[in-house]
Amino acid sequence: MSGGYHSARDLRGPLTLDCDVVVVGSGAGGAVVATELAESGLRVIVLEEGPRVDASVHGQMRPSESMRHLWRDGAFMAALGIGDSPTINVTMGRGVGGSSMLTGGVCFRVPGPVLREWQRELGLEDFTEAQLEPYVSRVEEAIHVEEVPVAMRSRSTALFAEGAAKLGMPVHAMRRNTRGCDGCGRCNFGCPHGAKMSVDLSYLPRAVAHGADVWSHALVERVVTRGTRAVGVTGRLLNGRGGAPGDRLTVHARRVVVAAGAWHTPALLMRSGLGHPRWVGRQMTLHPGFRVLARFDESVRGWQGALQSAYCDAFEGDGITLMSLFVPTGVLGATMPGVGEEHVAAAARIGNLAMFGGIIHDEGGGAVHRGPGREPVVTYRMSPSDRAKIPRVITHMAETFFAAGAREVFIPVLGSRGLDADAFRATDLARLPTSRIECASQHPLGSARMGCSRENSVVDPEGRVWDVDELYVADGSVLPTSLGVNPQLSIMTVATRTALRMRERSLPAR
């Protein structure tokens, strides 16, 4: 069998395969590397633990069904807060296309100051804006990055922009990887119109056209080494009862690329006894995120319009980025305060709600530990300076909505009711117990960081795991710091660089 999509769930009995390059994980990083290498003539196999879902199927699933089938563990993953840190709900995709399938489509280049930090702190001297330009342009063309027109903004976003204008804060148009988006606002549950150019639509079909095999329901458990060289992977076909691990999977390869995402790549390296223990699974950053809802007298119907269409960088210097978002009404209804009649009354006003989100450009503090089962245990110790930003990010959003005429705001604090401007200003956010703060992340990064020395990193500037031949990492885990902006374009840019450098390096003999 060659050049196609295959489901390991349909197989009976063990599977052994052979290729030039095996890529573990089919998300933003893995799909890019697989495609670039397949197009250079190499025999590539992609192994993905999750299912493959067609665009037409996305539209048939309710959001709760998408979460069950395509979000890892039904979106119930968390980084456990240590010390004065909130526990952070971390979501990621599990399927062909990885988390790329679930994005709001937001695309940012690696910010210049972040690159300069990488050059200064990690010795990544070749990571300048000019030197990355060919790679980022290549990705932007492949995934069709375009600016969201103001006309596609939801009323929710327009209201925030009105408030921001009154406060003198700039709001910019977002760039997204879309083609023919109709603004239906379903992006986080898979685009039903095939308009979001996630890697399952933009990259993997190219890889398959060049002979790559993409296996879904294929769980990798270990990287296999011979001497100091990676020579393949082993794992399980998820063909047991209800998709549980079943028959053995063995792939012999001349090169191994791990792109299982920042949550699972370090776990796989640890399980395989690879990578320097000082850095593998350490320094994970998350972009801790918060959202504020605001109730207006007018009908807002915030679900109509491009999901994420604008952002505000007024507080960039303080490590805070604000951006538009909305969540499906069913999910939103469940988050409204009260029980019984009170909850029904609150949920009935969903059509009057606007929403904005804010993320912290965090210092890191996440650590991946081997868990009792397949999933790692992740802890997060927020730095005091990041902790101090939580009240500020919430206040910026609330005050912007009040400036736009909001009657009350709902802040991300468990047990909190709607607060009018006076009640909000009387709330001492800095003294709220951290355990009451609702915090979410979609951006785990940095757990197998890149650097110029084995003393400061897991992989070298080419993406190679130090001291292991033919073992590469090409996903969000190599980005050595947080970015302060959504990461998919940066992950794909670095993965492209890694793939094109890999092409220049001949494969070893078997």
Ligand X SMILES: Cc1cc2nc3c(=O)[nH]c(=O)nc-3n(C[C@H](O)[C@H](O)[C@H](O)COP(=O)(O)OP(=O)(O)OC[C@H]3O[C@@H](n4cnc5c(N)ncnc54)[C@H](O)[C@@H]3O)c2cc1C
Binds 486: which of ligand SF4, ligand X, none (CB < 5-8 Å by kind): ligand X
Using alpha carbons, list the distances in angstroms from residue 1 to 18, 38, 212. Answer: 11, 16, 10
Buried b (16+ CB within 10 A) or exposed e, 369-382: eeeeeeebebbbbb
| Segment interacting with ligand SF4, rule: CB under 6 A, options 40-48, 122-130, 193-201, 385-393 | 193-201
- Does residue number 93 form part of the binding site for ligand SF4 (CB under 6 A)? no
In eight-state DSSP terms, residue 507 is P
Taking the complex as a whole, the smallest distance from the CB of residue 93 to ligand SF4 amounts, in Å, to 14
Helix (H) or strand (E) holding 503: helix 488-503
For residues 335 and 347, is the Cβ–Cβ distance under 8 A? no
Active-site hit among 264, 287, 396, 443? 443
Taking the complex as a whole, the smallest distance from the CB of residue 306 to ligand SF4 amounts, in Å, to 5
- Picking from 143, 120, 121, 88, the residue whose alpha carbon sits closest to that of residue 490 is 143
Give SS3 for 241: helix
Taking the complex as a whole, the smallest distance from the CB of residue 83 to ligand X amounts, in Å, to 26
| Segment interacting with ligand SF4, rule: CB under 6 A, options 177-185, 212-220, 262-270, 271-279 | 177-185
- Does residue number 181 form part of the binding site for ligand SF4 (CB under 6 A)? yes
Structure tokens at 350: 């969903």
| Segment interacting with ligand X, rule: CB under 6 A, options 99-107, 331-339, 341-349, 461-469 | 99-107
Residue with tokens 């600016």: 147
User: What is 314-360 written as a DSSP string?
Assistant: TTGGGTEEEEE----HHHHHHHSS-SHHHHHHHHTTGGGEEEEEEEE
- Does residue number 139 form part of the binding site for ligand SF4 (CB under 6 A)? no
Taking the complex as a whole, the smallest distance from the CB of residue 28 to ligand SF4 amounts, in Å, to 16
Taking the complex as a whole, the smallest distance from the CB of residue 201 to ligand SF4 amounts, in Å, to 11
- Does residue number 365 form part of the binding site for ligand X (CB under 6 A)? no
443 is catalytic: yes
Structure tokens at 84: 């004065």
- Does residue number 157 form part of the binding site for ligand SF4 (CB under 6 A)? no
Binds 261: which of ligand X, ligand SF4, none (CB < 5-8 Å by kind): ligand X
Among 50, 86, 275, 461, binds ligand X (CB under 6 A): 50
Cβ neighbors of 335 (< 8 A, separation 6 or more) are: none
Residue with Cβ nearer ligand SF4 (148 or 474) = 148
- Does residue number 147 form part of the binding site for ligand SF4 (CB under 6 A)? no
Taking the complex as a whole, the smallest distance from the CB of residue 429 to ligand X amounts, in Å, to 26
Residue with Cβ nearer ligand X (94 or 254) = 94
- Picking from 60, 9, 32, 37, the residue whose alpha carbon sits closest to that of residue 211 is 37
For residues 189 and 328, is the Cβ–Cβ distance under 8 A? yes
Rounded CA gap, 53 and 49, in Å?
Answer: 13
For residues 321 and 358, is the Cβ–Cβ distance under 8 A? yes
Rounded CA gap, 409 and 402, in Å?
Answer: 8
Among 6, 43, 58, 94, binds ligand X (CB under 6 A): 94
Residue 162 carries which side chain, given as an amino acid letter? E
- Does residue number 307 form part of the binding site for ligand SF4 (CB under 6 A)? yes
Among 283, 442, 457, 481, binds ligand X (CB under 6 A): 442
Residue with Cβ nearer ligand SF4 (147 or 342) = 147
Among 21, 30, 157, 279, binds ligand X (CB under 6 A): 30
Residue with Cβ nearer ligand SF4 (183 or 246) = 183
| Segment interacting with ligand SF4, rule: CB under 6 A, options 189-197, 312-320, 347-355, 375-383 | 189-197
Largest CA distance in the chain: 72
Rounded CA gap, 63 and 266, in Å?
Answer: 30
Rounded CA gap, 498 and 500, in Å?
Answer: 6
Taking the complex as a whole, the smallest distance from the CB of residue 402 to ligand X amounts, in Å, to 27
Residue with Cβ nearer ligand SF4 (307 or 332) = 307
Among 216, 379, 488, 493, binds ligand X (CB under 6 A): 488
Rounded CA gap, 261 and 36, in Å?
Answer: 19
Residue 490 carries which side chain, given as an amino acid letter? S
- Does residue number 98 form part of the binding site for ligand X (CB under 6 A)? yes
- Does residue number 186 form part of the binding site for ligand SF4 (CB under 6 A)? yes
- Does residue number 182 form part of the binding site for ligand SF4 (CB under 6 A)? yes
Using alpha carbons, list the distances in angstroms from residue 251 to 223, 229, 233, 384. Answer: 10, 15, 5, 45
Residue 499: alpha-carbon gap to chain centroid: 20
Residue with tokens 């492209």: 496
Binds 200: which of ligand SF4, ligand X, none (CB < 5-8 Å by kind): none
- Does residue number 268 form part of the binding site for ligand X (CB under 6 A)? yes
Residue with Cβ nearer ligand X (418 or 444) = 444
Q: Cβ–Cβ contacts within 10 Å for residue 115, how many? A: 19
Residue with Cβ nearer ligand SF4 (196 or 389) = 196
Taking the complex as a whole, the smallest distance from the CB of residue 143 to ligand SF4 amounts, in Å, to 12
Structure tokens at 392: 């500020």
Helix (H) or strand (E) holding 207: helix 204-209
Residues that bind ligand SF4 (CB under 6 A): 105, 178, 181-187, 191, 193, 195-196, 306-307
Residues that bind ligand X (CB under 6 A): 24-30, 47-50, 91-95, 98-100, 102-106, 188, 219-220, 259-262, 264, 268, 308, 442-443, 475-476, 486-489, 491
Which residues are known catalytic residues? Answer: 443
